């Protein structure tokens, strides 16, 4: 039996794909009863709490941060029975991920980090990028299950390395969004239509996934809905990248400037809006 804890925007869709494709029963839990009910509609079995999920052999986590991951891990560690293997698909602090893996290993529980990248639609479609930190044996065992949720499974190396790849992926995404927002602001001020500008950028060397999938869909219509990777999530993830930079002695000046912009976007009232709302701050419209 498999377990899944954390059925939010990404986790709910991932759990649904795991349930449909794995051929194994899935025991699902979330603090929101409606999320559990949705998982049950997709064929999972609802659990009443974290401890009940402990009866699963392999448990997947999709949680807001390492703080929640640590708390859930401790609950599962105290459960009877308890899982053999815990897979963290959240975006989590690297050093705390490695420390947690050591803590669980000393108690006889395996731990693997496998954070996901790409947008909410990819979670629904089962086309996520998943970067995995663990042993060759662990990754080989998990690959068929991860392939239920993603099309690109990358073995990043040892524990924590999956988080490193995911965190740096997000850092580049945020910096790219910053550059696109500045280009849009300058172009609009100079009299160029925003859609024409972005359409033209896709034809040249400035083309990118962020331009096509995010900026075109949000900055051009000037719509930044909630529950679509809000600004506070972007700040959390970029802070993880800056922590890695500090540990390595890398200035990361561009990332720090983008962090300042995200913080101003949050403070302007867009904390829960999709983070490309930064364009409104750049243009002085916040």
pTM for the complete prediction? 0.94
Q: Give the other-Cβ count within 10 Å of 112's Cβ.
A: 24
| Domain hosting residue 251, numbered range | 164-282
- Distance, in Å, from the CA atom of 31 to the CA atom of 123, rounded to the nearest integer, reads 20
Those residues with Cβ within 8 angstroms of residue 113's Cβ, 6 or more apart along the chain or in another chain: 87, 88, 92, 97, 101, 132, 133, 134, 159, 160, 161, 162, 163
Claim to verify: residue 148 and residue 169 sit in the same structural domain: no
pLDDT digits (tens, 9 = 90+) for 92-128: 999 999 999 999 999 999 999 999 999 999 999 999 9
172, 157, 153: which is closest to 234 by C-alpha?
Answer: 172
Task: Based on the fold, state whether residues 125 and 24 are members of the same structural domain.
Answer: yes
Which pLDDT tens digit goes with each residue over 136-177?
999 999 999 999 999 999 999 999 999 999 999 999 999 999
- Do residues 176 and 265 both lie within one domain? yes
Q: Which residue, 103, 131, 157, sits at the end of a domain?
A: 157
Q: Are strands 2-5 and 26-29 parallel, antiparallel or unpaired?
A: parallel
| Identified catalytic residue from 21, 124, 166, 227 | 166
User: What's the N-to-C CA distance of the chain in angstroms?
Assistant: 49
Residues 13, 152 within the same domain: yes
CA 247, 253, 257, 260 dihedral sign is: positive
Q: Are 51 and 79 in contact (CB under 8 A)?
A: yes
CATH number for position 217: 1.10.1040.10
State mean pLDDT over 246-270: 98
H helix or E strand, kind and range, residue 279: helix 278-282
Give the mean pLDDT of 188-194.
98
Q: Are both 206 and 258 inside the same structural domain? A: yes
Which of 108, 140, 157 terminates a domain? The answer is 157
Q: How many domains does the chain have?
A: 2
| Rg value, the chain, Cα | 20
Residues 180 and 97 in one domain: no
What is the pLDDT at residue 48? Answer: 96
Q: Residue 91 has what pLDDT?
A: 97
Same domain as 252, residue 225: yes
Q: Is 227 a catalytic residue?
A: no
**What average pLDDT does range 262-269 have in this prediction?**
98
Burial of 133 (0-12, 13-18, 19+ CB in 10 A): buried
Residue 76: the pLDDT is: 98
Nearest 5°: CA angle at 67, between 15 and 93? 90
123 and 175 fall within a common domain: no
Assign residue 51 the CATH number of its domain.
Answer: 3.40.50.720
Last residue within a domain, chosen from 101, 127, 157? 157
In the prediction, which pLDDT does 227 show? 82
Same domain, 147 and 177: no
> 17 and 69, same structural domain?
yes
**Closest to 4 in 3D by CA, of 149, 125, 167, 195:** 149
145 and 219 co-located in one domain = no
Q: Average of pLDDT values for 10-18?
A: 98
User: What's the token pair of residue 207?
Assistant: 């083309």
**Do 130 and 190 sit in the same domain of this protein?**
no
Torsion angles phi and psi, residue 117, rounded to 5: -130, 165
């Amino acid at each position: 039996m498999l377990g899944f804890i954390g059925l939010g925007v990404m986790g709910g869709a991932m759990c649904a794909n795991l349930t449909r494709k794995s051929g194994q029963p899935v025991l699902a839990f979330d603090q929101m009863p409606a999320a559990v009910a949705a998982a049950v509609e997709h064929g999972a079995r609802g659990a009443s709490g974290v401890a009940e999920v402990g009866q699963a052999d392999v448990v997947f986590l999709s949680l807001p941060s390492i703080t929640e991951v640590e708390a859930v891990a401790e609950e599962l560690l105290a459960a009877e029975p308890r899982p053999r293997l815990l897979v963290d698909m959240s975006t989590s602090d690297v050093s705390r991920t490695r420390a947690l893996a050591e803590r669980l290993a000393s108690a006889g529980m395996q731990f693997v980090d496998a954070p996901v990248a790409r947008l909410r639609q990819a979670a629904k479609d089962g086309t996520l990028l998943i970067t995995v930190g663990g042993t060759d044996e662990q990754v080989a065992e998990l690959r068929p299950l991860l392939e239920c949720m993603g099309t690109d499974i990358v073995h990043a190396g040892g524990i924590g390395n999956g988080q490193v790849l995911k965190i740096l992926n997000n850092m580049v995404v945020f910096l790219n969004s910053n550059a696109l927002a500045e280009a849009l602001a300058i172009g609009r001020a100079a009299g160029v239509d925003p859609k024409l500008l972005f359409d033209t950028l896709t034809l040249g060397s400035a083309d990118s996934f962020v331009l096509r999938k995010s900026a075109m869909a949000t900055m051009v219509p000037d719509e930044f809905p909630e529950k679509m990777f809000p600004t506070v999530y972007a700040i959390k993830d970029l802070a993880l990248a800056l922590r890695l930079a500090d540990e390595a002695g890398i200035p990361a000046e561009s990332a720090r400037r983008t962090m300042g912009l995200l913080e101003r976007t949050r403070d302007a009232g867009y904390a829960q809006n999709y983070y490309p709302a930064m364009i409104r701050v750049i243009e002085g419209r916040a």
